Amino acid sequence: QNILAMVLGGAAAVATGRADVGTAVWLGGTSMSQRGLLQYSRTQEGAADQAALKFLDATKQSARGFLEFTETLLDQELLSVRRQDPYLRTHPLTQNRINAIRAHVSKSRYSNAKISPRFDEMHRRMLAKLRGFIESFTTTLRRYKETDNSLESRYARAVAYYRLPDLDKALPLINGLIAERPDDPYFHELKGQMLFENGRVKEALEPYEKAVLLLPNSALLRIGLARTQLESGDPALLDSAIVNLRAAVLKKQDSPFTWRQLAIAYGRKGDMGLSSLAMAEEALLNGKKSNAIFHANRAEKLLPRGSMGWMQAQDILQEVNQGKKRPDK
């Protein structure tokens, strides 16, 4: 619609000899395209609401919290944008959406269901970890007191002490959590992160390996382990690092950091073709098209013609030169 409006605006200006007429047509067309796009956005938001309500019912959970949350958001919107054109909201929270959620709550058999203890603990843990990372040390310790021996309190304090950094206090806390929940991959991951970021790289290997063993499908855990393996400087760990990074990019293809780590790993192995290919992927994700072309051309020359890597380099060059987005690899 926007492009069509520009064309029509130019034609109107030529026909009338007045630039202001063309501008008016173009601006009107732009407004139409914005409204069309945002109408689509409202439709998408409504569809997302319906999906959320179906998921809540499927897991036998109440949607009352969802309703209260959306009502709170609507109150905030009204306070800050009283005169705003509803068409110009990128994520419109309309009364119609809230009414639909309210209607669902009124008829769902699970509206009075109590929160699952498992989900309640997961939520408390999530808040504890987030607060430990984003709040100041004093705020975290004020909220999660030393006398509070709950799992989430020790979790938050472990993160807070690690960020100081004070590993003499952080490590006993995370070790205690691991002793209680030895099959929890995220406790092992946090221990690995604590050790890695405080220069104790070789010690960080074991907890990261345990985390990946417990949750092998997690791209983030594999990236953490691979980074630690590379940083250790042990050539015997290069193959394992590559396996972890290849598994990670299958799950998380849009991570420049992961492609950079893969380039380093292949480079240390002496496989400069695949190293260049990984650098081309990283450059493309970072919007550095000239670098992407350079590394893709280099990969194309170094890799066997017709191989998967060679074809991937061809795809990168085509995407950069012709603007054609590749299908997911």
Task: Report how many domains make up the chain.
Answer: 2
In-domain check, residue 145: no
Report how far residue 3's alpha carbon sits from residue 36's, in angstroms, rounded to the nearest whole number.
Answer: 14
Residue at 183 is within a domain: no
> What is the DSSP code string of 12-44?
HHHHHT-HHHHHHHHHHHHHHHHHHHHHHHHHH
Per-residue pLDDT of 67-89, as tens digits, reads 998 887 776 666 555 554 443 35
Q: Is residue 215 part of a domain?
A: no
pLDDT digits (tens, 9 = 90+) for 223-255: 999 999 999 999 999 999 999 999 999 998 999
**Tokens linked to 75:** 């109150």
Q: Which of 107, 128, 160 is the last residue of a domain?
A: 107
Distance between CA atoms of residues 276 and 269, nearest Å? 13
Pull the structure tokens for residue 121: 């603990």
Query: Is residue 8 domain-resident?
Result: yes
Would you say 155 and 132 are in contact if contact means Cβ atoms under 8 Å apart? yes
Question: Pick from 59, 80, 107: which residue ends a domain?
Answer: 107
Do residues 38 and 87 touch, judged by C-beta distance below 8 A? yes
Residue pLDDT, tens place only, 136-192: 999 999 999 999 999 999 999 999 999 999 999 999 999 999 999 999 999 999 999
pTM of the model: 0.77
**Could you tell me if residue 204 is inside a domain?**
no
Q: Does the residue 81 lie in any domain? A: yes
**Does 271 fall in a domain?**
yes
Q: Which long-range contacts (CB under 8 A, 24 or more apart) does 85-90 make?
A: 87/34, 87/35, 87/38, 87/39, 88/34, 88/38, 89/38, 90/38, 90/41
- Cis ω before 165 (30° cut-off from 0): yes
Count the helix, strand and coil residues of the chain and give each as a percent rounded to the nearest 5.
80, 0, 20
Tokens standing for 50? 């319906």
Do the Cβ atoms of 5 and 23 come closer than 8 Å?
no
Whole-angstrom Cα distance, residue 18 to residue 12?
Answer: 8
Among all chains, which residue has been given the structure tokens 């980074």?
227
- Whether residue 127 lies inside any domain: the answer is no
User: What is the distance between the alpha carbons of residues 245 and 222, in angstroms, rounded to a whole number?
Assistant: 7
What domain range is 14 assigned to?
2-107
